[in-house]
């Protein structure tokens, strides 16, 4: 399973050229996870990988920052359901909507809940930290942070106080990390 998911990411997500990342850093490569997150085989394998990466925990919800964490949470919820475990999913909006309930945290996460925060690709970790801050402000405890791919450019250091586990790093795809 893990090997096939890695193959799909290598084939579908890796792009080479001149890119500006969410962190503002320049890069000669880009990991476009959306090319994998909307592929039937890959999303099923990803759900199983997220299940394997978190099944040891006693937690109530899984999710992260929009957009990447939304299909990831759905895949994980499906895998947990298949394995007889009930979980809630959530996502954190980058900005509050101007209508409706005007919430940044969508889904059911209550004060006192334990959660897993997920994200697709981490560079410095700044984006996933936004989701963590919103979840913790709601009174939930983050038990683990899981991403699909760590670009090895500071996320681990930023998330040092959390149980942080990437499924892959750029080295798994034959790429050396860019200088931090």
d(CA 72, CA 79): 11
Q: Who contacts 82 (Cβ-Cβ below 8 Å, separation ≥6)?
A: none
- pLDDT for 24 equals 78
Which pLDDT score is estimated for 101? 60
> Over 60: is that where the pLDDT of 100 sits?
no
Q: Which of 145, 80, 150, 138 is nearest to 109 (CA)?
A: 138
Share of the chain above pLDDT 70, in %: 94
Residue ranges and CATH numbers for the domains of the chain are 2-173 (3.40.50.2020)
Mean pLDDT of 158-177: 93
Region 5-22: mean pLDDT is 90
Packed helices 40-54 and 69-82: angle between N→C axes, nearest 10 degrees: 70
User: What pLDDT, on the 0 to 100 scale, is given for residue 147?
Assistant: 97
Higher pLDDT, 177 or 164: 164
Per-residue pLDDT band at 98 (split at 50, 70, 90)? low
Model confidence pLDDT, tens digit, residues 39-71 = 999 999 999 999 999 999 999 999 999 888 999
Considering the entire predicted model, what is its pTM?
A: 0.93
Distance between CA atoms of residues 126 and 102, nearest Å: 23
Higher pLDDT, 165 or 26: 165
> What is the model's pLDDT at position 115?
98
The confidence score (pLDDT) of residue 26 equals: 84
Average pLDDT estimate for 117-128: 92
């Amino acid at each position: 399973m893990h090997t096939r998911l890695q193959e799909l990411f290598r084939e579908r997500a890796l792009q080479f050229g001149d890119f500006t990342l969410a962190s503002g850093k320049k890069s000669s490569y880009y990991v476009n996870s959306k090319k994998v997150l909307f592929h039937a085989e890959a999303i099923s394998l990803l759900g199983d990988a997220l299940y394997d990466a978190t099944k040891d925990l006693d937690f109530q919800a899984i999710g992260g920052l929009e957009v990447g964490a939304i299909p990831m949470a759905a895949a994980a919820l499906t895998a947990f359901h298949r394995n007889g475990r009930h979980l809630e999913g959530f996502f954190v909006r980058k900005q509050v909507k101007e209508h409706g309930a005007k919430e940044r945290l969508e889904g059911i996460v209550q004060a006192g809940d334990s959660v897993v925060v997920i994200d697709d690709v981490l560079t410095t970790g700044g984006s996933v930290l936004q989701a963590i801050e919103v979840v913790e402000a709601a009174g939930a405890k983050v038990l683990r942070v899981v991403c699909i791919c760590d670009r090895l450019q500071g996320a681990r250091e930023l998330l040092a106080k959390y149980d942080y586990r990437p499924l892959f790093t750029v080295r798994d795809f034959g790429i050396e990390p860019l200088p931090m």
